[in-house]
Copies of this chain bind each other. A is one copy, B any other.
Amino acid sequence: MHSPRQELRVDLGERSYPIVIGPSLLGREDLTPYVAGEQVMIVSNETVAPLYLEAAKACFPGKTVDAVVLPDGEKYKDWQTLNLIFDALLERRHSRKTTLVALGGGVVGDMTGFAAASYQRGVRFIQIPTTLLSQVDSSVGGKTGINHPLGKNMIGAFHQPEVVLIDTDTLSTLPDREVSAGLAEVIKYGLIQDVGFLAWLEENIDCLIALDGDALAEAIYRSCACKAGVVAKDEREGGLRAILNLGHTFGHAIETYAGYGTWLHGEAVGAGMLMAADLSVRLGRLDEESRDRARALILKARLPESVPAGMEPDDFRQLMAVDKKNVDGTLRLVLLDALGDAVIVSDEGSPALAETLQYFCQSS
C-alpha cells in the first residue's frame, strides 16, 4: 500500500517544511540538518519521556542536547508550565540559535511551539508527535499556544516547525482512549473534504482500532496531506482554513465546561461533529442518511455520542461566544453541505441551533 518511510511537504513558501512518516524513525533519523546552532532543548512530559527521550536524543548526534520534562495533561497547558520551558532555556543559557524539540502529544507540541515562537522573540523548533491526534492535527499548520481560564488556545502564535517526524511505532504504547481521540480528527478530514477517504475509513476502521501499522500509516499520511493542502492555501486562517474546525466550536465548549483534560480534545471534537451534522440536517443543508453515515463511523471509533452530564444549552451559548472564529459578536460554525463538503456559516441564534443544543443536552 505504501513504502515504509514516506515524506510529505507542507508548502508555505520560505516556511515550507517536510513531514516524515514511518516506523522505527526515532533514534535513526538524523535531524541535525534542521538545527541552526549547537544547542537543542527537547521538551517532553512525564509519560512520554521515559519511553522515548533517549531515542529522541539520538536524532541529534554531536549537539548539546538538554531536556525539560513537563507534567502530563491538558490542564497543564498554562503559563506556569510554559514558564518551566523558559526557565530551563535561560538556566542552561540557550541562545537565539537554539532549537526546541516537542516530543509528545498535542499539549507538548502546542506549548513547545509557543515557547519557540516567544523565546528571544523566536527560535527554531521541531515536532516529534507521539499520539495519533498530534500526528494528524497539531503537528501540521503551525498553530501553537496555551489555554486561558476563559478560553482554550486563546494565547499563542503561528510558528512553523523545521520538520515533523512521525514515528508510527510510538502508537503501540498509546491508550485506547487516545487512539479514538485521534481517529476523531482523522474522520474529520473525510467529512470536510474527502468522501473517498471517508469510504476508506469505513472499510478500515477495525484495522485502525486494532493499531494495524500499515492502516495507521496510510490514515496519517492522508490526514496530513489533507491538512497540509488546506493550510498551504490559508496559513493564517483568513477563510478556508476554518473548515478544519468542524466540531471544534461545540467541542471546545465541552472541554471548557468539563474542565481541561477531563474530556480528551478528540472526544469533544467527536461529539462536536455529531452536533454539527445534526445542525446541518436541521438547517436543511445535509440529508439524514449522510448524517447517519457520519454518526455510525464516529461511534465505531468508540467516541462519545452525548455531551457531559448536566451541561445545558446556555452553557454552550456562553462558552461558544468566545470562540476565535466569531466576528464582532456573531457566532460562526463549520457545517456540512454534504459528506466531504464543509462550509462556514454565521449563526445569530437560529431556532435550529437551539434545537440541536436542546437535543444533545437532553440526551446526556
CA distance A95 to B322 in the complex (A): 7
Contact B39 A150 (CB under 8 A): no
The residue from B90, B121, B155 contacting A148, defined by CB atoms under 8 A apart: B90
- Cβ of A158 < 8 Å from any Cβ of B? yes
How far is the CB of A1 from the nearest CB of chain B, in Å? Answer: 36
Stretch at the interface among A112-120, A202-210, A335-343: A112-120
B-side contacts of A93, CB under 8 Å: 321-322, 329
How far is the CB of A330 from the nearest CB of chain B, in Å? Answer: 9
Contact A324 B120 (CB under 8 A): yes
The residue from B121, B322, B325 contacting A157, defined by CB atoms under 8 A apart: B121
- Cβ of A302 < 8 Å from any Cβ of B? no
A236-289 at interface with B (beta carbon < 8 Å):
236
A326-349 at interface with B (beta carbon < 8 Å):
326-329
B-side contacts of A87, CB under 8 Å: 148, 150
Contact A95 B150 (CB under 8 A): no
How far is the CB of A111 from the nearest CB of chain B, in Å? Answer: 13
The residue from B37, B90, B120, B154 contacting A86, defined by CB atoms under 8 A apart: B154
B-side contacts of A91, CB under 8 Å: 150
Query: Size range of the interface on A?
Result: 35 or more
CA distance A95 to B236 in the complex (A): 15
Contact A324 B96 (CB under 8 A): yes
CA distance A187 to B192 in the complex (A): 58
How far is the CB of A187 from the nearest CB of chain B, in Å? Answer: 25
- Cβ of A122 < 8 Å from any Cβ of B? yes
How far is the CB of A184 from the nearest CB of chain B, in Å? Answer: 23
- Cβ of A22 < 8 Å from any Cβ of B? no
The residue from B37, B86, B122, B150 contacting A327, defined by CB atoms under 8 A apart: B37
Contact B117 A328 (CB under 8 A): no
Contact A120 B154 (CB under 8 A): yes
A106-133 at interface with B (beta carbon < 8 Å):
117-122
Contact B326 A95 (CB under 8 A): yes
- Cβ of A156 < 8 Å from any Cβ of B? yes
How far is the CB of A160 from the nearest CB of chain B, in Å? Answer: 13
Known: A93-B322, A143-B121, A150-B91. A155 touches B86 (CB 8 A): yes
Known: A121-B156, A157-B122. A86 touches B148 (CB 8 A): yes
B-side contacts of A325, CB under 8 Å: 96
Contact A328 B38 (CB under 8 A): yes
CA distance A96 to B148 in the complex (A): 15
- Cβ of A79 < 8 Å from any Cβ of B? yes
A68-108 at interface with B (beta carbon < 8 Å):
79, 83, 86-87, 90-91, 93, 95-97
Which positions in A face B, CB cutoff 8 Å? 37-39, 79, 83, 86-87, 90-91, 93, 95-97, 117-122, 143-145, 148, 150-151, 154-158, 236, 321-322, 324-329
Q: Can you give 19 contacting A-B residue pairs, CB < 8 Å?
A: A37-B328, A39-B328, A86-B148, A86-B154, A90-B148, A90-B150, A90-B151, A93-B322, A95-B326, A95-B328, A96-B326, A97-B327, A97-B328, A118-B118, A118-B156, A119-B155, A121-B143, A121-B156, A122-B157
Q: Which 6 A-B pairs have the closest CB atoms?
A: A90-B150, A121-B156, A120-B324, A118-B155, A38-B328, A37-B328
9 more A-B residue pairs beyond the given contacts A95-B329, A121-B324, with a C-beta to C-beta distance below 8 A: A37-B327, A86-B148, A90-B148, A90-B151, A90-B322, A118-B145, A118-B157, A121-B156, A121-B158
